[in-house]
Amino acid sequence: MTIAPTKDKATTNIGVSKPRVDVREKVTGAAIFTDDVQFGAGLLHARAKRSPYAHALIKRIDISKAKALPGVKVVVTGEDFPNRTGLYLRDRFIFARDRVRFVGEAVAGVAAVSEEIADKAVDLIEVEYEPLPGVHDPVYGASSEAPLVHPDLGSYEWPNFIFPVPGTNISNHFKVRKGDVDSVWEKCAAVVEYTFRVPHVQHVPIEPHVAIAKVDDEGNVTLWASSQSPFAQRNLIAKSLDIPESKIRVIAPLIGGGFGCKAGVTMEAIPVAIALKAKGHPVKFRLTREEEFYTNFVRQGLVAQIKVGCDKDGNLLGLQNTMYWDGGGYTDYGVNITRAGGYSGSGPFDCPNVKVDSLCVYTNHPVGGAYRGFGMSEVHTGIVQAMDMLAEKIGMDRVEFLKKNVVQEGDKILTGMTMHKTGIKECIDKAAQAINWGVKEPNSAPNKLRGKGIAVMWKAPAMPPNAGSSALIKLNEDASVTVMIGGQEIGQGTFTAMAQIAAEALGVPFESVKVKGPIDTQYSPYEWQTVASRLTWSMGNAVRNAALDARRRILDMVAEAWGENVEDLDIKDGYVISYKTEESISLKNIVVYGIPKPNDEGWIGGPVVGSGNFMPTYVTGLDKETGQGERAVVHYTTGAQAVDLEVDLDTGQITILKAVSAFDVGKAINPDLVRAQIEGGFVQGMSSAIFEEMKLVNGHMQNPSFVDYRIATSADVPEKIEAIIVEAPQDDGPFGARGIGEHPMVPTIAALANAIYNATGVRVPHPPLSAEKIYLAMLDAGIVK
């Protein structure tokens, strides 16, 4: 076959909204939790005995009655599993041993032939506790007066970028010192000082946590889990149970909602531990909805004490931010949220003098873990409101104030890192323009007050400096392409994006690319975790490299067969073409069987498999005392969000008339998926801003159900949501791309709070920004009577 090749002939796969890959066709056994259908009559059901105390010593556990109950096969306690576990700080046991540190902590586990029998057995377990004084506020918890939640903190294991303070409740103290902030306040024309509080919230995935573990007679472990972190789970469970990683296999089908709560290890080690005592029996452990609310990861609470000042022209001079993170009873994941809060603790602002103290504090609250935004929503709630207050105090337009002070390419940010290219000013301009910023528009009714607010954000992928990705590309006889990855599809469209990257780099139609699932640590290439909005960037680089490797192998084969230079060849739409001779050949068959030599003298080539990996090698350590270093993070995604809303004077209810989000994504691999993330992120951010709060009283959650824990529904979604894509290419991203999964909900609380203030003249700084809270604030201010 001969074609007329041109270098721009093929349709590009990048920057085009390709249809979402239908992973259902490719994920064999996606509906894994079908009990007896898949796992047989030997399936056991596990339940956990949980602590009713927020803080107490365990004096005695009697499991004899539970073991004697017919139908019970296994009963275990913390005495059976002495090793600690944890992703960044090994501070927790699978089952509590010496003491309990939050309400709902597992102290024993049961496996029985039915869940009902398991529940009865749990009730028969007798535990004697000695209650201890609790810590229920992080500021108090960080003080010398607070009782110690972890007296043995100094004996725990942690990496060199986490800084615990043994003998206190501070499990990580991350510091940033840039310039001399203490000397600058007297030089400021205006200073704002305020304390902001952000409550705990729950991820509330539609699918609660569920995992099934089976141990065969040779000690090989298979874990099926609703997981964002199958490789991390394999690693952590292996260490905590002294099992070689080669003997643990984790299978992670599609997830019914994650948002960070299914990252790391939370409940997944429990069925594995129990299954070790019931070899040959699959053990299923499923959290109830109530357990999902407070026995697993939650978003940490935060108390942020912020002081910021500027000169008469609105230039920032000093910023001080002291953050007390309510890490809960264990902070194995929370310490890294604190670290991320620290190196992002100035917000996306260029300020010559910065002092940040980010403290992760043990309390007797539910365990804080990864949540969409990884601490950035909480950080920006205070910083961006403080900037809004400072702009008003100096008498400057908010948009102009933000544009004057946001970071730009070449700036030295708070950690000393040089800022890369960013489109944040363009984001501000486009968001402001979309809501007619500066135009006072009429209220819709006499009892309504109308206002507009704007907020900015930045977020870096919060991860270890050496978090890696890998990928395999396999070509089939019909020239279809199989992509094998270790990153998880959690609804964000990563399988589709990876298919597009592979197709573009290899030179084949998108429709011919299939992504292999489910993720299986025995067969899938390694991926650190599906967190941090890093997959498009990190795993995308690995997929691109694997595709380029496969492409090189194909072109080398054809160049040898045709006697041409590789530089004269290309792959377009599934054909190898020569720009020199205008010859072409389909990839069909040759990518498996190769190409025959002339005169039947043998063959060239063979089955084509491409491999690729990616790991950032340039992230440097930061000084423990100053937080300074050459490169703190891989990059920052930046953006802006603006809202136009009305407040009802009779009820305090807010109505969002229009919400606009503009984000610099580097390069939109799939614009439709990017817009979907931006829109969905705003709605989730709005939900956490207006409705959501875990009401904790002495460590006990008062609203662990959807009856009392309100989340946004379709009825709450604003009629107008506009998503704006800005593209300032990332130098090390695949085709210039950066992640966008978490970022759209980061500035929402601040944007809404600023808009409410603009409408009413009353600052309601602490979420949730409920109708009741707004109305009472207006009442106190004399706006309503």
Examine the pLDDT at 226 and tell me if it is beyond 70. yes
Which amino acid, one-letter code, is at 50?
Answer: R
What would you report as the CA-atom Rg of the chain, rounded to the nearest whole angstrom?
28
Structural domains in the chain, CATH included, are 23-31+467-614 (3.30.365.10), 34-132+209-286 (3.90.1170.50), 301-463+621-780 (3.30.365.10)
pLDDT at site 36: 60
**Quick one: pLDDT band at residue 266, thresholds 50, 70, 90?**
very high
How many C-alpha atoms does 264 have within 13 Å on its Cβ side? 26
Q: Which residues pair with 212 in a beta bridge?
A: 224, 284
Q: What is the average per-residue pLDDT within 260-272?
A: 97
Read off the tokens for 80. 């059976």
Question: DSSP 3-state assignment of 727?
Answer: coil
Give the residue with greater pLDDT, 32 vs 766: 766
What is the reported pLDDT for 11? 65
- Would you say the pTM of this structure is higher than 0.85? yes
Known catalytic residues are 742
- Classify strands 221-225 and 248-252 as parallel, antiparallel or unpaired: parallel
Strand pairing category for 481-485 and 513-516: parallel
Between helix 748-760 and helix 376-394 the angle, nearest 10°, is 30
Residue 205 clears pLDDT 70, i.e. is over it = yes
Distance CA 282, CA 121 (A): 19
Q: Are 665 and 740 in contact, with CB atoms under 8 Å apart?
A: yes
Q: So what's the pLDDT on residue 12?
A: 87
pLDDT at 75 over 50: yes
Task: Please write the tens of the pLDDT for every residue from 636-659.
Answer: 999 999 999 999 999 999 999 999
Q: Lowest mean pLDDT: which of 34-38, 185-189, 349-353, 522-526?
A: 34-38
Angle CA 240–246–251, to nearest 5: 85
pLDDT band of residue 30 (cuts 50, 70, 90) is very low
Tell the residue number behind the tokens 């900015």, with chain if given.
Answer: 456
